[in-house]
Structure 1
């Protein structure tokens, strides 16, 4: 996609990334919310869900905010994540990325959200709440 400029939408809800054992059933609390992602690998069950829904005692990292790339995006497009991740990495901002059939989602820690918006805006991306 070369020098791509993207439209991003900031999702409102604080999210959490949780880790359960690879053979654990998907818990009901993880299925409720506007943004949920479930990934099972041979090593873990990884859940991304609203932070407020995570019960105490669950291994997780809370405090994530999500920037959604306005889609849908064609599978033939290249450089979408790189256009976002490289400028943030250059400024020392950690990310967690999720891709779906239609688009990409970039998560940054709440404490880094304003700085991430500034960095991405300087790169020409358009960001709206």
Structure 2
């Protein structure tokens, strides 16, 4: 695996679940502060990843996540990025939640495990900026 540049983003994030027919919370679509917001609808749920302060009311919410973003853009032909990050974090006992966007890959780790995650990624040869 090649060496990756990874940025730890400020603030805590939340992973939220709404009913599959719930409307997308309009405030999440407003342009503003440059933060990651991911909205995914499946037949079973409307899933939202966002800064904890923007978590939708009435959702089932898992708070306390920190966001690590691979500096991109990454070519679509690259393989194994999430596999490498997940195996390196798994070896350190750190659970993750992954998201991919057009330009890059992101992982969320529980806030109490952030220090261990950063250490594991650095020891695997990645550049991690906190």
- TM-score normalised by length of structure 1: 0.92
Unaligned runs of 5+ in 2: none
Equivalence for 2:94: 93
Q: Name the SS of the counterpart of 1:26 in structure 2.
A: coil
Q: Which secondary structure does the structure 2 equivalent of 1:115 belong to?
A: helix
Q: Which residue of 2 aligns with 1:30?
A: 28
Tell me by how many angstroms 1:28 deviates.
Answer: 2.3
Aligned-pair CA distance for 1:56: 5.3
1:90: how far off?
A: 1.6
Alignment correspondent of 1:62: 63
1:1-129 residue pairs with structure 2 within 5 A? 3-31=1-29, 34-54=35-55, 57-129=58-130
SS in 1 for 2:89: helix
CA displacement at 1:17 relative to structure 2: 0.3
Asked if the contact 1:31–1:49 (Cα under 8 Å) also holds between the matched residues in 2, the reply is no
Give me the whole-angstrom Cα distance separating, in 2, the residues matched to 1:74 and 1:56.
37
What root-mean-square deviation, in Å, do the aligned CA atoms of Structure 1 and Structure 2 show? 1.3
Q: What TM-score, normalized to structure 2?
A: 0.92
| Kept after mapping to 2: 8 A contact 1:4/1:83 | no
CA apart distance, 1:27: 1.0
Identify unmatched segments of 5+ residues in structure 1. Answer: none
Equivalent residue pairs, number: 127
Rounded Cα–Cα distance in structure 2 between residues aligned with 1:78 and 1:109: 25
* TM-fit CA distance, 1:55: 5.2
> What are the Cα deviations for residues 55-114 of structure 1, in whole angstroms up to 9, with x where unaligned?
554211000101100000000001111121101112221100000000000110100000
